[in-house]
Amino acid sequence: MITEPSTLVTDYLLATLCLWLAWRLRARPLAAHRRAVRLFSAALAATAAGSFAGGTYHGFKIVLSDGVAGAIWTTSTIAIGAAACLLLSAVLTAGVREPARRWLLVAVWGQFAAYALWMLQHDEFVNVIIEYGSALLIIALLYLGLPTLRYHRSARWIIASIVVTIAAAAVQQSGIDVHVYLNHNDLQHLIQMIAVALLYKGGAELRDAVG
């Protein structure tokens, strides 16, 4: 029995879009020479994994044991956190030169390790929003503050994606349901698909900072 069919479908649609865009980005010839693009592709793939796990949880949580359902949900939350850190890592790779970049990446992934350990014991979705939202806020500040990024061709796409993602999160947290088969989670997924498409456009323009 499927418990939340529309949420399952919209989550799976989001996952499919992310996976397709991740593949397209990784398959581009420039990806072989740009670590930032490869990291962006990995971020989209992690988002796909998180969405697929989230859809599975929402769709089948009643028929799954508590342990299995909990493990699937935790997988979803950690995958989305990984996506956030991969996105931030990609932008740092594009905007910050070595050796500062190396230390910043260590800090980013150290924070992700702490987040993952936290989510093993907590299941509130607000933690995911804080993790992902914090990464996006830092990305926005990097684009505003770094000369290497401020006028970059990727800027308009990624900033636009951040704005759309904020709107999606606001809808999700509002709890507003427009229809019995279109609740706040479903709306978030549909809006997030727009944000993901914008991210893809921005990610394709990234190039590694050198010097």
* pLDDT for the residue 58: 87
72 in Cβ contact with 64 (< 8 Å): yes
Decide: residue 16, CB within 10 A, 0-12 exposed, 13-18 middle, 19+ buried.
Answer: middle
* pLDDT for the residue 6: 84
* pLDDT for the residue 129: 87
* pLDDT for the residue 123: 86
User: What is the distance between the alpha carbons of residues 195 and 190, in angstroms, rounded to a whole number?
Assistant: 9
Decide: residue 139, CB within 10 A, 0-12 exposed, 13-18 middle, 19+ buried.
Answer: buried
**In order of start, what are the domains of the chain with their CATH numbers?**
5-203 (1.20.1070)
* pLDDT for the residue 211: 63
Mean pLDDT by 10 residues, the chain (211 residues): 82 96 90 89 97 92 90 96 97 93 96 97 89 94 91 93 91 72 81 95 90 63
* pLDDT for the residue 30: 77
* pLDDT for the residue 180: 62
* pLDDT for the residue 175: 67
Strand, coil or helix: 152: coil
